[in-house]
Every structure is written in structure tokens, then in C-alpha cells.
Copies of this chain bind each other. A is one copy, B any other.
């Protein structure tokens, strides 16, 4: 089981000296003291509108946004990632969750054929800091970049500035990077996924969420992912979970991504929240069992099926107790 100490955290040079302890705290909180990230993605009410939350194959409870916070609170995840506004409305009742503010968002109405994608930053970074200082448990921020879009430049620029600001204040940063636009023929080509990873470390992100690369003649998806993970260097690479899938298969993919592909975590949304609260909670436990505690796929599946109890909290509290601050 991966565990890291405060000294293991590689604090980047753009974290200002006075924010150093804050950065280490946030990094350890987000990774639950493991260095790996289990990110629960809750930004799709904007990104996919209501299509991910209501309809056939989706549990009715998912239509109410509070469902996301109930999962975040009762399940096990490193961070719950959502827009600032969404978190602002529910965080007072769920103060124990680690929040990651997704800074930019777009809807899926305008398709790439009509216009290349641009996801605008929804507010300045100061708004996040103010909310954090008012007591909200925010540990980091996130930003989506569509590499290869005709608006790539604006997103690179917003993300670059955001990372500087967030690190200066001791927050961690997760980038979502997807190659997309008229110039991108194959969004899952391994060299583009590795390119996205390299772009992330060039920008200085702590973690980057990418889509799993496609398999090629000579390599599986996980093997191709390993190249991207290495290209990401000190930026931890995590994979998007994609749409709702068979749990066993999903956990196997996750396990491969970490143990073959070198991923240091996962980012899953729809696959979790489309389920009933109980099932969703158990899925977060199963995912975290693999991501944060190095369980086997079989054991994790038992966690999901409630045949095995999963308790994470120890390592988390351990690091908190280890230092007095």
C-alpha cells in the first residue's frame, strides 16, 4: 500500500515559501497520504448538461445534484471535483469532503464541426481563495485544455496563469487535457496522449487527467499509457473513467492503468454517480481500494459486492498526526 510522508512530497519551485506547508497538506489530503489521486468528477452537469443525470440506465436519484455530495461524503474519494458554484451551494452541509474547483466549463451544444472547442474560465482565482478562506475545504483547482483546438492558445494561457496562482497559494492543480478540434484526427492516438502528458508537465500541473490511449498493433492501451505516464514526469497522470461500464471490467482497466500504465490515480464521474447512492458509495470504495490501497481487482470487486470491508482513513490521519500544525 502506497504511503508517503510530508518529506516525500515534491514541492514545486513556484509554491511560495509561506504556502509550502499548505501545499503539502493539500497534496496529502487530496491523495489521502498515498501520492495517488482518486478524483470524483462532478462537473458534467455543465459539460454534458442533464444527459448524464437523467434517463434510461441512470438511477433516478442522480437527477438531484445533492446525490453527488452524498456519494462524496459517504464514499471514499480523494477529491470531489466540480464547479465553484455547485460546491458553494452544498459544501456547507458536506464540510468533510476535499473539494477541487473545476475552473472552466462548457456545454456540449456546439459541436466541433461548427466550432473548435473552448472552455472558458468561469471566474478568477481570487474567488476560490476567498471561498477557501471563508472555511470551505478546498484543496486544489482544475482546468480543461483542448489541445489542437483553434482556441488552444487561450486555454494554455488561462491554465498557465492558474497554475502559477494556485501554487503560489499552496493549492494543487489538476489539468484535464484532451486533444480535440478540426486539426485532431484521432483523439486517442497514443502519441497525442503522451503529448498531452508532456504539455501538462510543461505547464507544471500536479496531476493530469487524460483519456486512455487506444491499443495499437504492438501495445495494449495500458502499455501505451505507460509511455504517457513517463512523459508526464513529475506530473501524476490519471485516466478518465469514461461512461458507465461493467464494474469488473472497469476495475480491471483501472488496475492495469496503475500497474502497467504507470498511472497514479483515476478520475471517474458518470460511472459512479449514475448509480444509486449505495452502489455508488461501494464503487468509490472499490476504486479507492485499488488506487489508494493497492488491492487486487478481485479484492476490490469484493469490496464493491460488500463481501469485504474497505477502510482507508488510517494513512490519512497518520500524516495529519505526524506533524502538529
Contact = CB atoms under 8 A, between A and B. Distances in A.
A66 B12 CA distance: 14
A136 B149 CA distance: 33
Given A85-B202, A135-B13, A230-B63, A183 B127 contact: no
A71 to B, nearest CB: 14
Interface stretch (A25-33, A47-55, A252-260, A303-311): A47-55
Contact of A54 (B161, B227, B235): B227
B109 A43 contact: no
A64 interface: yes
A153 B120 contact: yes
B63 A231 contact: yes
Contact of A114 (B66, B182, B196): B182
A202 B164 contact: no
Contacts of A196: 49
Contacts of A223: none
A244 interface: no
A16 B134 CA distance: 6
A239 interface: no
Contacts of A227: 50, 54, 63
Given A45-B231, A64-B230, A84 B199 contact: no
A219 interface: no
B13 A192 contact: no
A156 B110 contact: no
Contact of A148 (B92, B110, B203, B230): B110
**Which are the 4 A-B pairs with shortest beta-carbon distances?**
A85-B204, A49-B195, A122-B160, A109-B148
18 contacts: A12-B92, A13-B87, A14-B85, A49-B147, A49-B195, A50-B228, A53-B231, A54-B231, A64-B233, A65-B201, A85-B203, A89-B234, A106-B152, A114-B182, A119-B153, A120-B156, A127-B168, A130-B168
